[in-house]
């Protein structure tokens, strides 16, 4: 699944390519989208919201898409050959100068502003320009029983973090991802949020992710990994640098 920084870059690319343009063509393999008239509308924005990409059209129409495991958006010039086959196409938005294609996007819905707010219900977005660390700390603290590694993936608690960054953030903050949030001090939660913000806005260095069995680059202890949560996402951590908190 693409990480929040990938979604952010995708939305920024779509915004630069499409915003202000009039839709000259719209094609989709998703029947629910085909019922809405899009041609002739002006594209007002493309933006990221957590793991979602939102494309706004005039007339209070918003296309909401989620990449899931393999989805992607590409932009092309009219007539330019696509990098993937037409078999993978789900949505095509055409303007006079750009063709935007969604490949393998399995979640795609049209909304207005009111229904969109009910559908997404996102926590503070780490990559948003108006991200407030204090709000993210508060959101985490309001879920004391949630394991930290699971909480960082729940977009309703804190948005934009994916499975790779989850492991990296916990490692850099020296916090065990299997501890409950309620076991952390306020200072530790603040450190976790600050690390998340810092990590998501700079090039990634994989300290632990996909390094199970390798020596920790800080202490030399073998990196461990195991599935976590109902979705069984793989978590990587160093048992020495990230010891469990002893609960009374």
The token pair at 108 is 């795609």
Residue 244: inside a domain: no
Residue 151: inside a domain: yes
Residue 242: inside a domain: no
Say if residue 43 is in the same domain as residue 76. Answer: yes
pLDDT of residue 77: 97
pLDDT of residue 204: 66
pLDDT of residue 134: 94
Say if residue 110 is in the same domain as residue 148. Answer: no
Phi and psi dihedrals of 224, rounded to 5? -105, 160
Say if residue 68 is in the same domain as residue 159. Answer: no
Say if residue 87 is in the same domain as residue 143. Answer: no
Residue 125: inside a domain: no
Query: Residues, the chain, total?
Result: 248
Say if residue 38 is in the same domain as residue 101. Answer: yes
Q: Which residues of 202-231 are buried (b: 16+ CB within 10 A; e: fewer)?
A: eeeeebbbebeeeebeeeeeebbbeebeee
Taking the chain, what is the end-to-end CA distance rounded to the nearest angstrom?
A: 37
Q: List the domain range (segments joined by +) for residue 102.
A: 4-120
Residue 167: inside a domain: yes
pLDDT tens for each residue of 66-96: 887 788 999 999 999 999 999 999 999 999 9
Say if residue 114 is in the same domain as residue 137. Answer: no
Cα gap 108→116, rounded to integer Å:
12
pLDDT of residue 187: 95
pLDDT tens for each residue of 41-52: 999 999 988 778
Residue 224: inside a domain: yes
CATH number at residue 174: 1.10.8.50
The token pair at 16 is 């630069």
Number of domains in the chain: 2
End-of-domain residue from the set 120, 150, 180: 120
Residue-by-residue pLDDT tens, the chain, 248 positions? 455 567 888 999 999 999 999 999 999 999 989 999 999 999 999 998 877 899 999 999 999 998 877 889 999 999 999 999 999 999 999 999 999 999 999 889 999 988 887 776 778 888 888 889 999 999 999 999 999 999 999 888 998 888 889 999 999 999 999 999 999 999 999 999 999 999 887 766 789 999 999 999 999 999 999 999 888 889 999 999 999 998 76
Say if residue 145 is in the same domain as residue 231. Answer: yes
Residue 162: inside a domain: yes
């Amino acid at each position: 699944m693409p990480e929040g920084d990938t979604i952010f870059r995708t939305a920024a690319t779509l915004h630069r390519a499409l915003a202000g343009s009039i839709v000259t063509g719209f094609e989709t393999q998703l029947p629910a989208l085909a019922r809405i008239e899009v041609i002739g509308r002006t594209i007002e924005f493309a933006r990221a919201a957590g793991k979602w990409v939102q494309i706004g059209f005039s007339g209070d129409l918003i296309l909401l898409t989620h990449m899931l495991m393999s989805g992607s958006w590409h932009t092309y010039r009219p007539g330019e050959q696509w990098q993937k086959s037409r078999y993978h196409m789900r949505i095509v938005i055409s303007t006079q100068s750009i063709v935007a294609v969604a490949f393998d996007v399995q979640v795609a819905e049209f909304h207005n502003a009111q229904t969109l707010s009910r559908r997404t219900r996102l926590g503070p977005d780490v990559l948003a320009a108006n991200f407030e660390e204090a709000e993210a700390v508060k959101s985490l603290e309001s879920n004391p029983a949630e394991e930290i590694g699971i909480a960082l993936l729940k977009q309703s608690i804190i948005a934009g973090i994916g499975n790779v960054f989850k492991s990296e953030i916990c490692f850099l903050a020296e916090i065990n991802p299997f501890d409950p949030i309620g076991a952390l001090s306020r200072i530790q939660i603040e450190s976790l949020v600050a690390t998340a913000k810092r990590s998501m806005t700079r090039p990634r260095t994989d300290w632990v992710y996909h390094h199970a069995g390798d020596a920790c680059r800080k202490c030399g202890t073998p990196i461990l990994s195991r599935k976590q949560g109902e979705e069984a996402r793989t978590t990587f951590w160093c048992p020495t640098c990230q010891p469990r908190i002893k609960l009374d």
